[in-house]
């Protein structure tokens, strides 16, 4: 993992080999938190009700969030395909969130028409997940 970035500065090049962890940990932390919170916070039934989903599908979303977060982290120390699998799970979940709940408002602040805020955050996470899907561990 981690081809050198060849800046000419040995310190930056050494750090560059490990910089993928900044994106990895940030992305995984959001997904792990949101997935676990669906089980422990308001509960799966509450999440399902808010989005009009069957409880079974809401459970799959929560498990997908947790699994995607774990795979992104584990992929960093194992295999690029593990990273890609985690990213693919995240992309599906993010597209669902964007199109089902956030479409129509870019800004993240809640408004009367979008009480849960807009899609800016989800789009940012989507771009990072797409990067990991395409690059795997060759970041």
DSSP per-residue string spanning 44-68: HHHHHHHHT--HHHHHHHHHHHHHH
pLDDT attached to residue 99: 84
Q: Is the pLDDT of residue 65 over 80?
A: yes
Asked whether residue 105 is assigned to any structural domain, the reply reads yes
Asked whether residue 2 is assigned to any structural domain, the reply reads no
Asked whether residue 22 is assigned to any structural domain, the reply reads yes
**Over residues 72-83, mean pLDDT:** 95
Asked whether residue 45 is assigned to any structural domain, the reply reads yes
The string of pLDDT tens digits covering residues 1-56 is: 445 566 778 887 777 778 889 999 999 999 999 999 999 877 899 889 888 899 99
Asked whether residue 57 is assigned to any structural domain, the reply reads yes
Q: How far apart are CA 134 and CA 130, in angstroms?
A: 6
- Using N-to-C axis directions, what is the helix angle for 80-97 and 20-40, rounded to 10°? 50
**Over residues 64-93, mean pLDDT:** 96
Q: Which helix (H) or strand (E) holds 127?
A: helix 120-135
Q: How far apart are CA 51 and CA 45, in angstroms?
A: 10
What percent of the chain lies above the pLDDT cut of 70?
83
Asked whether residue 67 is assigned to any structural domain, the reply reads yes
* Nearest C-alpha neighbor of 123 from the set 138, 108, 139: 108
Tokens at residue 121, please?
């955050």
Tokens at residue 50, please?
């808010």
- The structural domain count of the chain equals 1
Domain extent at residue 65: 10-135
Asked whether residue 5 is assigned to any structural domain, the reply reads no
Asked whether residue 4 is assigned to any structural domain, the reply reads no
């Amino acid at each position: 993992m981690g081809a050198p970035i060849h800046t000419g500065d040995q310190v930056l090049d050494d750090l560059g080999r490990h910089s993928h962890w900044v994106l990895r940990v940030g992305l995984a932390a959001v997904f792990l938190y949101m997935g676990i919170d669906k089980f422990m916070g308001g509960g799966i039934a509450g999440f399902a009700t808010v989005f009009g989903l069957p409880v079974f599908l809401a459970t799959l979303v929560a498990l997908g969030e947790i699994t995607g977060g774990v795979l992104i982290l584990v992929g960093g120390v194992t295999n690029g395909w593990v990273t890609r699998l985690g990213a693919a799970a995240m992309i599906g979940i993010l597209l669902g969130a964007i199109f089902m709940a956030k479409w129509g408002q870019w800004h993240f602040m809640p408004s009367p028409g979008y009480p849960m805020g807009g899609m800016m955050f989800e789009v940012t996470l989507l771009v990072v997940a797409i990067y990991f899907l395409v690059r795997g561990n060759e970041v």
